[in-house]
Structure 1
Amino acid sequence: MISIEGLSKQFRTDNKTITAVDQLTLDIKEGEIFGVIGYSGAGKSTFIRLLNRLEEPSGGRITIDNQEITKLKANQLRLARQEIGMIFQHFNLLWSRTVKDNIIFPLEIAGVPKAEREKRVKELIDLVGLTERENAYPSQLSGGQKQRVGIARALANNPKVLLCDEATSALDPETTNSILDLLVSINEKLGLTIILITHEMHVIRKICNQVAVMEEGKIVEQGDVLDVFLHPKQTVTKKFVEQVMGSNEEDDSVTHLINTYNQGKIVRLHFVGETTNQALISMVAKKFTIDINILQGKITQTQRGAYGNLFVQLLGEADEVNAATYFIRDETSVELEVIRDAD
């Protein structure tokens, strides 16, 4: 769907040349929600603006749906951009226009007949959950509602690709989740390819299938979101994973648990992927005559399933505790590691 080869962007000042995007190569599949994450200055916002040539590349090629965007002349580019919607961090709405008129604006520019415009706007208002707000002005809307207008406007011309540049970073956590849920719904209903730029790993975790990590204009790590969570290779990626999972102080944590809980067997349960049995603890407690104490841990969800660790204490007769341990290892998808065996 999207092929990017050797993409570069330099900004020249009086004294030096700054490379914002450096020989970036990437392939994005049709219908995918693809996340690009990086800290400020990593080059991610420049990268997404290069995709629809809001910024002109210094080198490289961008091909979207078999059309090489980097070769298009002005008139051709104008038509191509109708198939590439974009939403922004600060909404970029027309403040003198109502919700309806903001959404209708790109349809007017595209020369869509009035009757067709009216029908399309109604569909979009319903799609993004703004029914009965079509006559409100942006100043009368909440942040989440403004972003819903931005999403509807970006979808007006039935694009094949939706670019999201820090689309939730100006929103509170609850509103962020509602917007992310909306993007997932749009992806599923319309089969839209979504590229999402962010500096927040929980956004990637919640909705993305694939993720690329940017640093100093380069992609330093890339892969399936769950795989990146499980096996982060670069220091910057590990820091992002810690945003969701917490600081990696596991060795100290294990020592503390061993010293604090001096009875029974302590095990670490490692949850990975979509086959994880969410009812594991209650199932084991019913199946075996043991007591199970959850000591600590953190489980989070990705699009592919659960990921995380849970430390539990197993108390009871040795045979029952051992039988429960073997059951978890052999009969479930949860990985088990014995931290301290029973006394």
Structure 2
Amino acid sequence: MITLSKLAKTFNTRDGKVTAVDQIDLTIEKGEIFGVIGYSGAGKSTLIRMLNMLEVPTTGEVSVAGKNMNTLSQRKLREARQEIGMIFQHFNLLWSRTVAENISFPLEIKGVPSTERKTRVEELIKLVGLNGRGASYPSQLSGGQKQRVGIARALANNPQVLLCDEATSALDPKTTDSILELLIDINKKLNLTIVLITHEMHVIRKICHRVAVMENGRIVEQGPVLDVFRRPKEHMTKEFVKQVTEPEETEEALKHLFTEEGIGHVLQLTFVGGDAKRALITDLIRKFEVTINILQGKLSQTQDGSYGSLFINVTGDEHHIIEAIDYIRKQEVEVEVIHGE
């Protein structure tokens, strides 16, 4: 559906040239929800804006739905953009227009007859859960409702691709979850390809099938979300994964624990899929002469299954502890010894 080849973007500034996107190769499949995560300045906003040529690449090619976006005439580019919807962090609604009129706007530009526009708008209002709000103005809506209008407007022309530029960053956590659930529902109902950028791993965890991690204009790591959660390779990826797999107080609690004498071994166990629901701790206590204290733990759900991280303190004779660790690994549960006497 989307192919990027040697894509790069350089800006000329007073301080010299700045490379925002640096030689990116990427393929996104049809019907997939693909996330791009990175800190501010990583280049992810520039990247997503090059998918519909709001930013023209310095070098490289962008192909969307079989069309080489670089070579299209202005007329063909306008037509191609109608198949690429986009939603934004700050909604970008027309404040003097009602909800229905905002959603209808792309159809008016396209020249769709008024009767067809009205039918389509009604369909979209129902799809995004805004029944009864068609005559309301943006100033009368909550943040989540405004974003639902933005989504409906982006879907007006039946696009094949939906681009989400930090679409939930301005929303509270509960509203964010409701918008993400709406995007998942739309993806399934319409087989819509969704590309979203974010700095929040919670968003990636909840909605995406695959993720790419950006740093300094480059993709430093990518893969299925569950795989990236399970085996993050880059330091920055590990920091993002910690956002959703470890409670905020974990590091502080463990540091405090390490100052105590006779604490034995501190292990981090990583569970994936069905393993996340196993009674592993009970098995360990029954099979081995060790004492186990659970320190911290969290279970997260991704599009492709569960992911759990558990910190435990294990004390006992050294050989019993080693046997217990070996048993855990044989259960295909990943073990990292964070501290050991």
Q: TM-score range by the shorter chain?
A: 0.7 to 0.9
Separation in 2, partners of 1:46, 1:312: 42
Please name the residue that 1:318 is paired with: none
Equivalent AA in structure 2 for residue 194 of structure 1: I
Whole-angstrom distance in 1 between the partners of 2:174 and 2:129: 16
> Is residue 230–residue 272 contact of structure 2 (8 Å, CA) maintained in 1?
no
How many Å apart are 1:65 and its aligned residue?
1.2
Number of aligned residues: 332
**Aligned 8 A contact 1:21 1:217 in 2:** yes
Residues 84-111 of structure 1 show CA distances to partners (whole Å, capped at 9, x for unaligned) of: 0000000000000000000011011111
Give the structure 2 partner of residue 131 of structure 1.
131
CA distance in 2 between counterparts of 1:281 and 1:159 reads 47
Q: Is the 8 A contact 1:269 1:334 kept in 2?
A: no
2:100 & 2:89 partners in 1: Cα distance?
20
Q: TM-score, normalised by structure 2?
A: 0.85
Distance 1:16 1:334 in 2: 50
| Counterpart residue number, 2:308 | 308
Q: Structure 2: how far apart are the matches of 1:11 and 1:284?
A: 58
Deviation readout 1:182-234 (Å, 9 max, x if unpaired): 11111111111100000111111111111111111111111111221222222
**Cα pair distance change 1:154/1:257, threshold 3 Å:** farther
CA distance in 2, matches of 1:337, 1:218: 29
Partner Cα distance (1:102, 1:230) in 2: 42
Q: Please list the CA deviations of residues 117-151 of structure 1 after superposition, one character each: whole Å capped at 9, or x if unmatched.
A: 11111111111100011110000000000000000
The equivalent of 2:71 in structure 1 is 71
Deviates more, 1:227-236 or 1:75-84: 227-236
1:43 aligned partner, one-letter code: G
Counterpart for residue 192 of structure 1: 192
Q: Which residue of 2 aligns with 1:103?
A: 103
SS in 2 for 1:62: strand
Shift of 1:114: 1.7
Unpaired segments of 5 or more residues in structure 1?
316-323
CA distance in 2 between partners of 1:310 and 1:100 (Å): 48
2:279 counterpart letter in structure 1:
L
State how far apart, in whole Å, the 2-side matches of 1:329 and 1:253 are. Answer: 27
Q: Classify the secondary structure of the residue corresponding to 2:118.
A: helix
Q: Would the aligned equivalents of 1:294 and 1:312 in 2 still touch at CA under 8 Å?
A: yes
1:319 paired residue number: none
Whole-angstrom CA distance in 2 between matches of 1:215 and 1:328: 35
The within-5 A match list for 1:1-343 is 1-246=1-246, 249=251, 252=255, 255=258, 259=262, 270-276=269-275, 278=277, 280=279, 294-311=294-311, 334=333
TM-score (norm 1): 0.84
One-letter identity of the residue aligned with 2:45: S
Residues 276, 305 of structure 1: 8 Å contact kept: no
The alignment partner of 1:63 has SS state of: strand
SS of alignment partner, residue 170 of structure 2 = coil
Cα shift at 1:305: 1.8
Contact 1:273 1:304 in 2 (8 A): no
Counterpart contact for 2:268–2:338, Cα < 8 Å:
no
RMSD: 3.4
Query: Could you tell which deviates more after superposition, 63-72 or 11-20?
Result: 11-20
Letter aligned with residue 175 of structure 2 = T
**Partners of 1:24 and 1:335 in 2: how far apart?**
32
